[in-house]
Amino acid sequence: KARARALEGADGGATRMEVVVGVDLEPRGRGCGDQYGLMVLRAKADPGSRRDQALDRCWRWAACHDHSHRLLVAAGACLINDVRALQAPGALAAAAEAGAGVCLMHMRGEPRTMQVDPQYRSVVDDVRTDLRARIAACEAAGIPRERICVDPGIGFGKRPEHNLALLAALDRLADPAIPVLVGVSRKSLLGIITGRPTGERLAGSVALAALSVMRGAAIVRAHDVAATVDAVKVASALRRAAAGGSG
């Protein structure tokens, strides 16, 4: 399945507007309890290549501890997507040593309780402050900015109104030099908006991916890769036109 999605066109030449293969978020075990950890790999592989083999090997490994980070990078992963933003003991040092890119995801609370009455003073300001603190921690640990991207953590300790406020303010969440990754594919927010079950959220997922790019997302995590690639290319072209660039 990972290879099939890769061959659908993920990371298909859309400059910094990249689609990366994602997986359904669910508890994985492997010593992580109910932590929702996953590894995101840029789907740039050729069949039979070392990275393509890594896609197969690492597809459902949880990336929530330092040893997981090291093993996954050794297997060919090039981006560590950590739902705890490298706050677990040893995670910062392991990521710095690994040399891979890192995605710092925002999560308020713990997976078991994060959706129980999440509160923010100002969700955009609070998430931006938290992400900037984690960026600073990464830099202090020896991870340069060019290896960092951030994820506002849509659906992780946020109400629907929090998620929408963050998506509307993606261009304000980090330093302009740090890409923002968004994962909205098939999420419950789309179910709330459209009334559709998980398996019927393709149109909503693709629309929100394109709108996220228009609002400043540089990386989109998607299940339905081919459709999302097309939508991202269109949104990227329109964003360039709005900025005065050539098509």
pLDDT digits 0-9 by tens, 53-103: 444 443 333 345 555 556 566 655 677 888 889 998 888 998 898 888 889
Given the residues 5, 28, 221, 233, select the one marked as catalytic: 221
Report pLDDT for 70.
61
Quickly tell me which residue has 């393509």 as its tokens.
52
Given the residues 187, 201, 215, 233, select the one marked as catalytic: 187
233 is a catalytic site residue: no
Q: Are 30 and 246 in contact (CB under 8 A)?
A: no
Report pLDDT for 69.
57
Q: Are 46 and 207 in contact (CB under 8 A)?
A: no
Report pLDDT for 133.
96
Residues in the chain predicted with pLDDT less than 50, given as ranges, are 1-4, 6-7, 9-63, 247
Report pLDDT for 176.
81
221 is a catalytic site residue: yes
Q: Are 71 and 79 in contact (CB under 8 A)?
A: no
CA distance 236 to 245: 11
Read off the tokens for 217: 């997302």
